[in-house]
Homo-oligomer: A and B are copies of this chain.
Amino acid sequence: MSTAEGIRRIALTPAARRALEAAGRLFYARGIHAVGVDLIAAEAGVTKKTLYDRFGSKEQIVVEYLAERDERWRTFLAGRLDAERPARERVLTVFDASRAWALENSPKGCSMVNAHAEISDPAHPAYPIITGQKQWMLDLFTGLCADIDPDRADRLGRTLMLLHEGALVAHGLNVFADPIAHARDEAGALLAAAGE
């Protein structure tokens, strides 16, 4: 349900939680390779010994960072998606949730996309988290569209996916004002014309 793979297995002690919080903040803001473990330790008020006792390697910290962010986003979205509402409305809710999430968590765009810029190797343990989230979002859109216009669900779902991803990028690069709201409106127009 939540994170596709059973990747998270580390018990987060208080110090480990602080470290993961600091690592996530730094990774997102500066990039993964630009942040060293010494900086993470210092920023979290934790020694490197503790870091390596809890996580074992920097790579594992990266994995935990992405897995937690993925899980948080899915939980955040699930908490706003009311299964009772019609599918058309739920699609708009996805964009609304994305907008709210981006405003307070993602000034620099999607963390998965940004991580993918630095982690190209498909054998990297964090890779399935990245592609998994995108696949999950596509399936979500397509599934909602199946309730609106079953014949065009695949096509509609993919278009919503592109609008959504494009909006996240445009948001991160400040291409124009409030692109996620714009994407929401376009999604609404698209769905208004569908399923009639």
Chain A residues engaging chain B, CB cutoff 8 angstroms: 29-31, 33-34, 108-110, 113-120, 130-131, 134-135, 138, 155, 158-159, 161-170, 172-176, 179, 182-183, 186
Known: A161-B166, A165-B165, A166-B162. A113 touches B108 (CB 8 A): no
A186 touches B159 (CB 8 A): yes
User: What's the Cα separation between A130 and B173 when bound, in Å?
Assistant: 8
Q: Determine the distance from Cα of A138 to Cα of B134 in the docked complex, in whole angstroms.
A: 25
Question: A176: which B residues are within 8 A, CB to CB?
Answer: 138, 158, 161
Smallest distance from the beta carbon of A177 to chain B beta carbons, Å? 10
- Give every chain B residue within 8 A of A116 (Cβ-Cβ): 108-109, 114, 172-173
